[in-house]
Amino acid sequence: MTQDTAQTAAPQAPASDGANSRKVFVKTYGCQMNVYDSGRMTDALARDGYVPTEDMGEADLVLLNTCHIREKAAEKVYSALGRLRDMKKARNAQGREFMIGVAGCVAQAEGEEILRRAPAVDVVIGPQTYHRLPEALNKARSGARVVETDYAVEDKFEHLPVAEKAKIRARGVTAFLTVQEGCDKFCTFCVVPYTRGSEVSRPLSQILDEAKKLAEGGVRELTLLGQNVNAWHGKGPKGEELTLGDLLYALAEVPGIARLRYTTSHPRDMDDRLIAAHRDLRVLMPYLHLPVQSGSDRILKAMNRRHTAAEYLALIERIRAARPDIALSGDFIVGFPGESEQDFEDTMSLIRAVGYAQAFSFKYSIRPGTPGAEMDGHLSEEVKTDRLERLQALLLQQQKDFNESCIGREIEVLLEKPGRMEGQLIGRSPWLQSVNVDAKTSQIGDIIKVRITGTGPNSLFSEPITIQEG
């Protein structure tokens, strides 16, 4: 689910944009959890009078919500900070306030080090302490440089406001909702257990309240988020133990919510209740992101994934038996230390056996402090590049095949946003594909049936289905 691409996450400014209000520009790197967090931080800052802007040039505060997953992702932050330093100098010379905050996983991983490497930074704040951001900015305003990277004992979600209806509406008909954070799995390549801390699940009632608020604000499709979302567990009203399957059954009852998704899952946490939810719940979309990373048992063991390739394939079979139209997506790492050509071929075989509708794949990136970094057998950049190209060619072909298999099918799409051409909207298929649909802006939020007529590089084409009279 993760990319180290950056995106601006500046939700629409509210109508009451006072002339004296401060403006915040938020730049979000990394995974969907960061996108969600950026929204919640923006809401918290709104209480302090900050209005979001999409123009960095007019911002009084620039907040980088960062990702540490691969080296490239982390380095991007420092080059962005170099540019911001110059901007700060120019602003201060004009006697204007200009603050720089670094949030997210680089903040958590590097803490004080960021202040050393980037002296223009005012605030460094880790993912568990976002509710303290307004207070940290106040301290910084009086001259301190603030680093907040403790794992807070209080529940940050209790303290972070959810946007009011109008703002939710402005953000669109799909929304993320973080239900679980952190990770206890300790895959040997991965920084997440160090940057996000150990697994924590949000309580059922808190999640249901937030889902209801989002639905009242016009959200039709909810994607539940967690680094290990299917490790979510909670307690029911009678104290009974609940897992993610139970949460999905509960959320399926929330009025207005027409579609549910969740990401990212670990194969070891796909329990029977969750598979049953895929069988029973029509609102649960037939699409599952289930990363496997490698198809070689030797490498899976070295990665500490704690399952074999055969176990993964057997799991996929059970899921497909429960929901035959389910499409699968995954994450792959090539060039993990010690990966032989045969190990790589095993990954290719696994991909052929599964048939993915979509996938993300990466060259192994050494992360300081993880066990993988200390292992023998690191591979050259050339080998990694060669394997990645071969793997991506196969995955791309599978994606094309999947998209083409949709031609001629009648499917339901959720109309999301204006398309490129007048009279067109972009809709989302059950399998997360973008679909071009002839429809009016007033139909945004509707779910309509269309027939798929063709495929483009990044989207599908469709024609409306005319309902036969009589």
Residue 26 makes contact with ligand F3S by CB under 6 A: no
| Stretch near ligand F3S under the rule CB under 6 A, chosen from 26-34, 156-164, 367-375, 395-403 | 26-34
Nearer to ligand F3S, 183 or 277 (CB): 183
Which runs of consecutive H residues, i.e. helices, occur in 297-415? 297-302, 309-322, 341-354, 371-374, 381-405
Residue 105 makes contact with ligand F3S by CB under 6 A: yes
Residue 102 makes contact with ligand F3S by CB under 6 A: no
Residue nearest to ligand F3S as judged by C-beta position = 30
Collapsing DSSP to helix, strand or coil, 460 comes out as strand
Tokens found for residue 227: 């680094």
454 forms bridges with which residues in the sheet? 461
What is the smallest separation between the CB atom of 300 and ligand SAH, expressed in angstroms? 12
What is the smallest separation between the CB atom of 121 and ligand SAH, expressed in angstroms? 25
Cis-peptide into 264, omega within 30 deg: yes
Nearer to ligand SAH, 194 or 249 (CB): 194
452 — phi, psi (to 5°)?
A: -80, 130
- For residue 238, give the DSSP letter: T
Contact (CB, 8 A) for 248 and 277 = yes
Where along the sequence are the contacts to ligand SAH (CB under 6 A)? 2, 69-70, 189-190, 192, 227-228, 264, 266, 291, 293, 331, 333, 362, 364-365, 367
CA distance 15 to 18: 9
What is the smallest separation between the CB atom of 84 and ligand SF4, expressed in angstroms? 29
| Stretch near ligand F3S under the rule CB under 6 A, chosen from 61-69, 331-339, 378-386, 424-432 | 61-69
Site for ligand F3S in 166-205 (CB under 6 A): 191-192, 195-196
186 binds, among ligand SAH, ligand F3S, ligand SF4, none (CB under 5 to 8 A by kind): ligand SF4
Residue of 47, 186, 209, 314 interacting with ligand SF4 (CB under 6 A): 186
151 — phi, psi (to 5°)?
A: -80, 110
DSSP states along 395-433: HHHHHHHHHHHTTT-EEEEEEEEE-SSTTEEEEE-TTS-
Residue of 6, 9, 31, 302 interacting with ligand F3S (CB under 6 A): 31
Residue 185 makes contact with ligand SF4 by CB under 6 A: yes
Residue of 99, 190, 299, 452 interacting with ligand SF4 (CB under 6 A): 190
| Stretch near ligand F3S under the rule CB under 6 A, chosen from 27-35, 85-93, 311-319, 455-463 | 27-35
186 — phi, psi (to 5°)?
A: 50, 55
Tell me how far the alpha carbon of residue 260 is from its chain's centroid: 15
Q: Which amino acid is at 269?
A: D
| Stretch near ligand SF4 under the rule CB under 6 A, chosen from 186-194, 253-261, 279-287, 379-387 | 186-194
Residue of 67, 136, 175, 183 interacting with ligand SF4 (CB under 6 A): 183
Nearest CA-CA partner of 44 in 159, 146, 153: 159
What is the smallest separation between the CB atom of 392 and ligand SAH, expressed in angstroms? 13
Tell me how far the alpha carbon of residue 423 is from its chain's centroid: 30
Nearest CA-CA partner of 156 in 179, 131, 134, 138: 131
193 binds, among ligand F3S, ligand SAH, ligand SF4, none (CB under 5 to 8 A by kind): ligand SF4
Residue 76 makes contact with ligand F3S by CB under 6 A: no
- For residue 293, give the DSSP letter: B
CA distance 249 to 258: 13
Site for ligand SF4 in 239-298 (CB under 6 A): 266
Residues with Cβ within 8 Å of 63's Cβ and at least 6 positions away in sequence, in order, are 24, 25, 26, 27, 38, 41, 101, 102, 103
CB atoms within 10 A of CB 272: 11
Nearer to ligand F3S, 36 or 344 (CB): 36
* Residue 457: half-sphere exposure toward Cβ, Cα within 13 Å: 0
CB atoms within 10 A of CB 347: 27
Residues in the interface with ligand F3S (CB under 6 A) total 15
Question: Site residues (CB under 6 A) for ligand F3S?
Answer: 2, 30-31, 33-34, 67-69, 104-105, 191-192, 195-196, 227
Question: Site residues (CB under 6 A) for ligand SF4?
Answer: 183, 185-187, 190, 192-193, 227-228, 266
